[in-house]
């Protein structure tokens, strides 16, 4: 289960009981470019101020170290959401269903460039993306490790062929929102904690924003 970080919310959204809504404003872009040889993640405080860098594995050990991340929800023109089942090789929440794509920007990497990079690496797609909000969550996975992230949430619209990377994704499908609701309700443990938190926000607080930006009704 996700851990409550705070119940404080910004003026544009209501408090979400399992996470801290930070902002509905678009994040500032770092100035530098990524060094592809580095796998250092960006450590932040709960206001998204950079504090330093740490390896991906170290960030997820024990109770986890708060770091910057992103989560993307890709819809098709029919209003179906692309979901994926995480690879069995994932250290945390392996073989769990999750949203379209989620990962981290590396040291000195711009957030939107990181999102587009991972969409290409995981799903083989390119499409416009739209920032919605960011929030903090903490979730522990068995005795293996934890996710402790300040996560930037995006949506996008894609029409075309998915080329899923088998090293990252065990399975994928497009699903109607009403069917996803039923599946989550009946099989809570099959879905990642961050996806469930984000989906709740998308279908309530950010429902109108999604309709305005990608013409999809939830």
Q: What 3 state SS string does 103-131 have? A: ECCECCCCHHHHHHHHHHHHHCCCCCEEE
Answer yes or no: 101 catalytic: no
> Measured between alpha carbons, how far is 71 from 6 in angstroms, rounded to an integer?
20
> Measured between alpha carbons, how far is 40 from 66 in angstroms, rounded to an integer?
13
Question: Tokens at residue 35, please?
Answer: 């060094």
Closest CA to 72 of 117, 17, 39: 117
From the list 59, 101, 102, 151, the catalytic residue is 102
What separation in angstroms does the CA of 187 have from each of 22, 30, 63, 169, 184?
29, 39, 25, 20, 5
From the list 109, 122, 147, 149, the catalytic residue is 149
Answer yes or no: 59 catalytic: no
Give catalytic residues, as residue numbers: 102, 149
């Amino acid at each position: 289960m996700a851990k409550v970080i705070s119940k404080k919310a910004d003026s544009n959204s209501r408090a979400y009981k399992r996470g801290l809504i930070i902002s509905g404003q678009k994040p500032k872009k770092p100035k530098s470019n990524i060094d592809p040889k580095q796998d250092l993640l960006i450590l932040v405080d709960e206001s998204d101020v950079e504090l330093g860098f740490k390896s991906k594995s170290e960030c997820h050990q024990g109770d986890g170290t708060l770091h910057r991340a992103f989560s993307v929800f890709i819809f098709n023109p029919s209003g179906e959401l692309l979901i994926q089942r995480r690879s069995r090789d994932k250290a945390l929440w392996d073989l769990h269903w999750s949203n379209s794509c989620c990962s981290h920007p590396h040291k000195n990497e711009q957030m939107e460039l990181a999102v587009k990079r991972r969409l290409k690496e995981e799903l083989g797609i390119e499409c416009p993306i739209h920032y919605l909000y960011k929030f903090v969550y903490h979730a522990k996975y068995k005795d293996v490790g934890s996710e402790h992230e300040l996560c930037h949430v995006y949506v996008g619209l894609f029409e075309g062929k998915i080329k899923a990377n088998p090293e990252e994704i065990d399975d994928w499908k497009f699903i109607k929102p009403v069917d996803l609701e039923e599946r989550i309700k009946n099989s809570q443990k099959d879905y990642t904690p961050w996806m469930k938190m984000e989906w709740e926000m998308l279908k309530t607080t950010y429902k109108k924003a999604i309709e305005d930006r990608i013409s999809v009704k939830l």
